[in-house]
Chains A and B, each alone.
Chain A
């Protein structure tokens, strides 16, 4: 406090809102020295997180995930396809991340957001390398038919930590996924069985009566942290992300394996101790998220 500094001196005379706009970095640093953030969170605490399963009735699996006010809607549509020759008994997953203009003032209509393709690549990398989904489970008839899962994630409100919320909604929608019942007709074609067909026990037998759910072996969860000087801030808001640029995203799966440690540049260099801190924070967060997801799933089963 004793240091003579122009903005510090002004801060006693100026309105808080004006100070926040004129000297955003100093405004944040003043909070950080008091170990608190402008939204009254401690530095290493994530925002409140909720998951609602089955948000889209027309999709085969869907989920709405909210981390603070960051909102992601994920929905899966299943389609039957012919598997490729290299992997005749494997299905396929196609992940797409959309940022419509309603989600943020930065996104302009007509022009896709720069981060959208990067995030969808990051998401599909994370989901494939975590080994959460065994693609063999998506097979129907080896070499003839397999499931193609189209996962679309829509960002409804972009208020920081986009990847965390997107991954959470993706994982939740996979755990909600109900694979439709299909049968082979006389021409050897796959047809989706309607409700009546299931009840009247027609001659066409369902191909996949038992495997309606995917077994998710290890579920990846992520936490994004901001590094600023020696502070570590978990789960940043959009405002924090725009002021302090160094972001580290750690993805751990439920068995504690490191799926991804993603730090694209940023002015702060990460040393081993900071990496360990981020990983430790993510470990805690994985437990929290696992509980939230379990609660959401058990809530669905009661209904």
Chain B
């Protein structure tokens, strides 16, 4: 059953993560996020006055612009834009800045598998950098299912192509609050177990999907820790510079 991965990782092992914020000077917020060789740059402009047509002016509007590494934007990119927009809408507090538009520009630097999760993580870090009000952070992960029902995490492009099916999952990051614990909405399940976004490709059995969920949740805890740590260390670094 064991599957040897080309880079010698264990099935649950993620590629080395790195995240840096405030890398662009003109943007209100920016971040780059890389998982192994996949690297995405995100910039946030806004909140700018006014919303686009067909958007609710009583809420803040989120606009996502996807820039591929090369070439024109096509149908897959449009789908990514839509998914990213809906995902970010659900984690931002849209009622704080009504009738404004926040643009998130996502530039793919290199695609080596798990591109959309990487972009979601980058966009999330960039939103934090821009100081956009958010309910909670989100972390995204890609799970692959092999023919034998074996699940691996964070695949490279080659692995993604070889596998029977894969799922992109986005989970919320638990809220660290000074307020007393807010009771979670579902019976007994912590907030981090809720799915914000789920996109699957390829056919798999329903049980395999639940296996993916379980593995994804476990890995998302690690990712959350990393995201939180990298955000905190850079914040404290900034304040020391200012002081």
Residues of A at under 8 Å CB distance from B?
Answer: 106, 114-115, 117-118, 120-122, 125, 129-131, 230, 248, 253, 256-267, 269-273, 275, 279
Contact = CB atoms under 8 A, between A and B. Distances in A.
Question: Which 4 A/B pairs are nearest by Cβ-Cβ distance?
Answer: A269-B194, A265-B86, A264-B86, A265-B87
Contact of A263 (B82, B88, B195, B205): B195
A271 B90 contact: no
A251 B76 CA distance: 19
B26 interface: no
Contacts of A106: 54
Interface string B192-215: 011111111111111011100100
A128 to B, nearest CB: 9
A257 B204 contact: yes
Contact of B200 (A121, A261, A266, A269): A261
Nearest to B73: A117
B185 interface: yes
A273 B195 CA distance: 11
Contacts of A129: 165, 201-203
B79 A270 contact: no
Contact of A258 (B83, B85, B194, B205): B205
A270 B198 contact: yes
A188 B132 CA distance: 65
B223 interface: no
Interface string B77-102: 01100110111111000000000000
Contacts of B185: 230, 269
Interface residues of B, number: 39
B25 interface: no
Contacts of B189: 271-273
Contacts of B194: 269-271
B174 to A, nearest CB: 12
B78 A118 contact: yes
Interface string B46-59: 00000000100000
Nearest to A252: B206
Interface in B174-194: 185-187, 189, 191, 193-194
Contact of A265 (B78, B83, B202): B83
29 contacts: A115-B82, A117-B75, A117-B79, A118-B78, A121-B79, A129-B202, A230-B185, A248-B198, A256-B205, A257-B206, A259-B203, A261-B198, A261-B200, A263-B195, A263-B197, A263-B198, A264-B82, A264-B197, A264-B199, A265-B83, A265-B86, A265-B90, A265-B196, A265-B197, A266-B196, A269-B185, A269-B194, A269-B196, A271-B189
B90 A253 contact: no
Given A129-B201, A129-B202, A272-B189, 12 more contacts: A115-B82, A118-B79, A129-B165, A248-B198, A257-B203, A257-B205, A258-B208, A259-B202, A265-B87, A265-B196, A270-B194, A275-B209
